[in-house]
Structure 1
Amino acid sequence: MNLQFISKIKSISKRKFYLIHSVQKPHLDRFHSRLVRKVCLFILPFFFLQCASSGFGTQGLLYENQRISLMETGNSATKEGFSCAKSYLGLIALGDASIETAQKQGNIKEITSIELETYNFLGIYAKLCTVTKGI
């Protein structure tokens, strides 16, 4: 084959490659940016929405505020004690929500009922409180 003809084919193919590459690159950049936006808007929130969670009862994705009874003797109560633990984004958890702490806080000698109060807002802030009632 003629060398001049081969060099023309090579130069044409190089131009085509550059043209195709220059047309497709912005398209790929837009595709990747759209993909990143979709991941950030739709997938990542599901990982972070339930970061801070009480872990008891039904779980509300956006909001949770409930009281769950664990034990009840049926006897009347005159005193009530609370103990709470809080969580921020599921990264930091502070507090003591134990039954003993709630009993001491309410100065209760005999426990007649134990309940859990849960609160969660968007997984940003969650609170779990133990409520003891007794005499």
Structure 2
Amino acid sequence: MITVGSITREEATAIFPFLQEKYRGRRKEIKEYTHTYPEFVFWIYPDGKLFDAKEAHKKNTPKGFDYILQDEPNYGGFLRGRLARQFEEQIIVIYCEPEVLHLNNEKIKQFLTGIKEIPLPVADTTLVISDNGDIYGTITDIEERLEITD
């Protein structure tokens, strides 16, 4: 499991218990959390353009790109995600392969470009994870990782 950034897995677990290293039913819990407390559901085009998926990815794919639903976890180059919040802490879940926001600069740029277009306040301290519970750190951590590797 990937854990990178300024927030340790232990710190993240204190806020989001489903991020514990060994957590039975993690994917189910992540899905339940993001579907219960969604702030914004989105697709990000390969060029970084944001697409509002309203309440559901499957019902709202970018026009002409329905096929991306059949291409899990790559989604035809799009990034699929949800911004959620129950109380103060925001979390972004990206449905992807583990290395996508850890080592892939093109995907990191795509993510950061799209996230900046979300029409809600998104804190730089928002935790970013995969649907498998990989922790990519905060948005600031991801920006810094890109600067170091660029």
Same fold (TM over 0.5): no
Larger fraction in strand: 1
Give the number of the structure whose alpha-carbon radius of gyration is greater. 1
